[in-house]
């Protein structure tokens, strides 16, 4: 089963929850960090790294001998990654989505592909090997998070519980991360910003048709807006995490939820079981 | 005209709350919310929308099932796995997987694929008690957040010119990807809001690398600094190594939450030490811009 941990708003505690879920289990589990712009799970899981690989995407390579400067490729490209001014096209790799269209429309076969790096995948293990940790990290300056997320997802196995730590927001990187999830936990906080962004996240998972429930972090600090909304919309609040200064302090130095609030471990161990019952 | 952009790398460090304070303190500014995925600034500024404009960007492939001969060429050529099979064996485009590249339209042997423009969201020009605000809403699960960010910045610049404003204050998105790059390229100054945690430090380093990559100067604010004073000092050292100036600290303050619940900025809500800190920081930012 794949459980994705998401939220519209950043900083609500996605990573804290995702890490707690894998730590609370006593079985072999996997943690996949799809927040590739700012991956933070490894700070808390401290995996022993076994392997690092690049994420490569293909961008067009123009053979100027064969190119007739017809400009068809540049007119076809929907992302303005090729520009031709009566010359062989200039390629802007950072805009390229690697769709292959330019090669298809080129009448002289002048386009082949070369690989450029957009990110890095780190594979490791934590907790004596019980937790497999996959992390995607976008190269600084690259704008293409989805290919890095797609590559992280290739390491997700069917036979173990996998927790995906999603990026914030509601656009392409989130959609890519949620793609194969069986269930989504939406982490929010009881503030107007938290509620506003929770509503966007709920719309997103509803559009994708994935079952979900809500975790309210720092539930005892703020207003009742999130609780009221969840009642109105018949959304289950599966866990409420109290606000503790010890939690903020533990988090600041790489500590996990159970370092600060040990009594929550049992509840987190139960979450996958509660979800399985609910989904069936 | 100058443009400052407030970003953070890590989400939830207080970007929007601090941007709101800057909006209240600035004298002749136009405001822009470039966190188009999850825009929150309007909740502090209560904008009155003067004009709403559709944001049309890119196109989306749509297969006419009646004309589809189920040859599967589109599925074979689509590099985004965005084409699925219907129960009748025809092809269908998954709108959330489609990146609008037009390859399927090109390769379909019977021209059964339409390519209508994509309505991705809306952007707004509004009035607030602190001046004009340009903001936007990206449609759920939409692409092109970077282009919408560019639209918001461009329209804010046009309005600033028209209204003779000398400053644009931009609330930026989290992360370092496409919407962040669209928010910072060509800006006058970045204000990076971080927090004294390992994650905050890690994410700030990446944002400062990005700032360097695009040659935009950056200043750093450590919010909730008293959660870990030692880490705060470490972050400020790291900021200097990353080529940025630390310009101030703000303590952990519940008044931020209270202000947010009341729909106001902290400087309207309180007069405590946090407000003093923010006011001093704002004065430094203004000096830096001169």
Are B239 and B125 within one domain?
yes
From B97, B115, B133, the end of a domain falls on B115
Query: Phi, psi at residue B261, to the nearest 5°?
Result: -65, -35
The span from the CA of A101 to the CA of B269, in Å, is 55
**Co-location of B47 and B72 in the same domain:** no
Do B47 and B168 sit in the same domain of this protein? Answer: yes
pLDDT of B60-87, one tens digit each?
A: 999 999 999 999 999 999 999 999 999 9
User: Which of B45, B75, B101 best tests the A interface by mutation, with the highest count of A CBs <10 A?
Assistant: B101
Number of independent structural domains in chain B = 2
Q: Among 3.30.470.30, 3.40.50.1100, 2.40.50.140, 3.40.50.300, name the CATH number for the domain at A2-55+118-279.
A: 3.40.50.300
Per DSSP, the residues of A150-215 read: HHHHTT--SSSEEEEEPPSSSSHHHHHHHTT-SEEEEEE-SSHHHHHHHHHHHHHHHHHT--EEEE
Same domain, B263 and B197: yes
My answer on whether B127 and B188 are in the same domain is yes
Contact A197 B16 (CB under 8 A): no
- Tell me if B99 and A99 make a contact (CB, 8 A cut-off): yes
Q: Which chain A residues are closer than 8 Å to B103 by Cβ?
A: 99-101, 104
C-beta atoms of A172 and B143 within 8 A: yes
Which fold would CATH assign to domain A64-109?
Alpha-Beta Plaits (3.30.70)
Interface contact B145-A104, CB threshold 8 A: no
Nearest-angstrom CA–CA distance, B24 and B268: 8
pLDDT at A55: 97
- Tokens for B23, please give them: 């909006």
Where in chain A are the domains?
2-55+118-279, 64-109
**pLDDT tens-place string over residues A180-238:** 999 999 999 999 999 999 999 999 999 999 999 999 999 999 999 999 999 999 999 99
What is the gyration radius of the CA atoms in chain A, in angstroms? 22
Q: The dihedral of CA B267, B270, B271, B276: what is its sign? A: negative
* B73 and B170 within one domain: no
Band of residue A245 on the pLDDT scale cut at 50, 70, 90 = confident
Name the minimum distance, in Å, from the CA of B277 to any CA of chain A: 22
Measure the CA–CA gap between B289 and B41, rounded to whole angstroms: 23
Range of the domain at B85: 61-115
> Quick one: DSSP state of residue A85?
S
Predicted TM-score (pTM) above 0.90 = yes
State the pLDDT at residue A117: 96
- The answer to whether the CB of B39 falls within 8 A of the CB of B204 is no
Residues 6+ away with beta carbon under 8 Å from B285: B4, B22, B189, B191, B219, B247
Q: Do the chains contact at A138 and B176, CB–CB below 8 Å?
A: yes
Identify the pLDDT of residue A80.
92
φ, ψ of residue A118 to 5 degrees: the values are -120, -5
Percent of chain A with pLDDT over 70: 99
- How does pLDDT run across A154-196, given as a tens digit for each residue? 999 989 999 999 999 988 899 999 989 999 999 999 999 999 9
Q: Rounded to 5 degrees, what angle do the CA atoms A77, A80, A83 make?
A: 90
- Tell me, yes or no, whether B72 and B197 share the same domain: no
pLDDT at A94 over 90: no
B134, B186: one domain: yes
Contact map slice: B 241-260 vs A, CB within 8 A? 252, 254, 257, 260
pLDDT of amino acid B220: 98
Same domain, B15 and B103: no
Q: What is the pLDDT of residues A38-60, one digit of tens each?
A: 999 999 999 999 999 999 999 99
Of A97, A171, A191, the CB nearest to B101: A97
Tokens representing A249? 């302090």
B40 inside 8 A of chain A by CB = yes
Sign of the alpha-carbon dihedral angle for A185, A191, A192, A193: negative
Residue B33's CATH number: 3.40.50.300
Element (H, E) at A59: strand A48-62
- B178, B261: one domain: yes
Pick the last residue of a domain from B84, B115, B146: B115
Residues of chain B with pLDDT under 50: none
Distance from the B39 Cα atom to the nearest Cα atom in chain A, whole angstroms: 8
- B224 contacts A8? CB cut-off 8 A: no
A279 pLDDT above the threshold of 80: no
Do A197 and B197 lie within an 8 Å CB cutoff? no
C-alpha A114/C-alpha A117 separation (Å) is 10
Cα distance between residue A159 and residue A19, in whole Å: 19
B67 and B51 housed in the same domain: no
ipTM above 0.90, yes or no: yes
Judge: B38–A196 Cβ closer than 8 Å, yes or no: yes
Size of interface A-B (CB pairs under 8 A): 180
Say yes or no: B262 and B278 in one domain.
Answer: yes
The pLDDT of residue B224 is: 96
Chain B residue closest in CA terms to A224: B261
Provide the pLDDT for residue A183.
97
CATH number assigned to the domain comprising residue B97: 3.30.70.20
């Amino acid at each position: 089963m794949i459980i994705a941990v998401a939220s519209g708003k950043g900083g609500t505690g996605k990573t804290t929850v995702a890490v707690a879920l894998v730590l609370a289990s006593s079985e072999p589990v996997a943690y996949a960090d799809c927040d590739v712009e700012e991956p933070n799970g490894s700070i808390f899981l401290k995996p022993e790294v076994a392997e690092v690989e690049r994420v490569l995407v293909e961008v067009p390579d123009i053979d100027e001998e064969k190119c007739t400067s017809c400009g068809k490729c540049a007119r076809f490209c929907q992302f303005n990654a090729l520009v031709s001014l009566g010359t062989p096209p200039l390629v802007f790799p950072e805009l390229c989505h690697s769709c292959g269209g330019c090669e298809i429309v080129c009448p002289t076969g002048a386009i082949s592909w070369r690989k450029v790096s957009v990110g890095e995948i780190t594979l490791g293990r934590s907790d004596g090997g019980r937790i497999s940790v996959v992390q995607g990290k976008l190269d600084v300056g690259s704008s293409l998070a989805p290919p890095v997320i797609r590559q992280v997802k290739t390491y997700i196995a069917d036979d173990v519980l996998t927790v995906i730590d999603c990026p914030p927001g509601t656009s392409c990187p989130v959609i890519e991360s949620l793609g194969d999830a069986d269930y989504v936990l939406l982490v929010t906080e009881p503030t107007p910003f938290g509620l506003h962004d929770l509503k966007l996240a709920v719309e997103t998972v509803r559009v994708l048709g994935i079952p979900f429930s809500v975790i309210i972090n720092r539930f005892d600090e703020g207003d009742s807006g999130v609780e009221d909304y969840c009642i109105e919309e018949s959304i289950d609040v599966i866990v409420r995490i109290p606000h503790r200064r010890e939690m903020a302090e533990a988090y600041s130095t790489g500590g996990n939820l159970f370092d600060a609030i040990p009594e929550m471990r049992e509840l987190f161990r139960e979450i996958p079981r509660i979800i399985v019952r609910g989904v069936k | 005209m100058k443009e400052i952009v407030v970003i953070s790398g890590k989400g939830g460090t207080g970007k929007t709350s601090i941007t709101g304070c800057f909006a209240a303190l600035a004298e002749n500014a136009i405001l822009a919310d470039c966190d188009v995925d999850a825009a929150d600034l309007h909740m502090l500024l209560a904008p009155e929308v003067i004009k709403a404009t559709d944001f049309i960007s890119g196109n989306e492939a749509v297969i006419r099932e009646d004309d589809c001969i189920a040859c599967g060429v589109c599925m074979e050529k689509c590099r985004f796995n965005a084409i699925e099979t219907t129960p009748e064996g025809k092809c269908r485009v998954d709108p959330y997987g489609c990146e609008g590249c037009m390859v399927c339209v090109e390769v379909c042997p019977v021209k059964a694929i339409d390519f209508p423009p994509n309505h991705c969201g809306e952007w707004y020009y509004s009035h607030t008690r602190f001046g004009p605000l340009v903001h936007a809403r990206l449609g759920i699960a939409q692409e092109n957040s970077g282009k919408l960010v560019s639209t918001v910045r461009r329209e804010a610049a046009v309005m600033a010119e028209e209204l003779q404003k000398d400053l644009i204050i931009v609330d930026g998105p989290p992360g370092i990807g496409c919407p962040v790059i669209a928010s910072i390229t060509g800006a006058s100054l970045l204000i990076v809001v971080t927090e004294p945690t390992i994650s905050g430090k890690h994410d700030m380093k990446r944002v400062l690398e990005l700032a360097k990559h695009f040659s935009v100067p950056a200043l750093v604010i450590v919010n909730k600094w008293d959660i870990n004073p030692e880490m705060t000092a470490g972050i400020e050292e790291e900021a200097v190594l990353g080529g940025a100036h630390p310009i101030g600290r703000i303590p952990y303050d519940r008044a931020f939450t209270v202000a947010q619940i009341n729909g106001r900025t902290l400087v309207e809500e309180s007069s405590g030490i946090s407000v003093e800190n923010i006011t001093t920081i704002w004065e430094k930012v203004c000096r830096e811009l001169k």
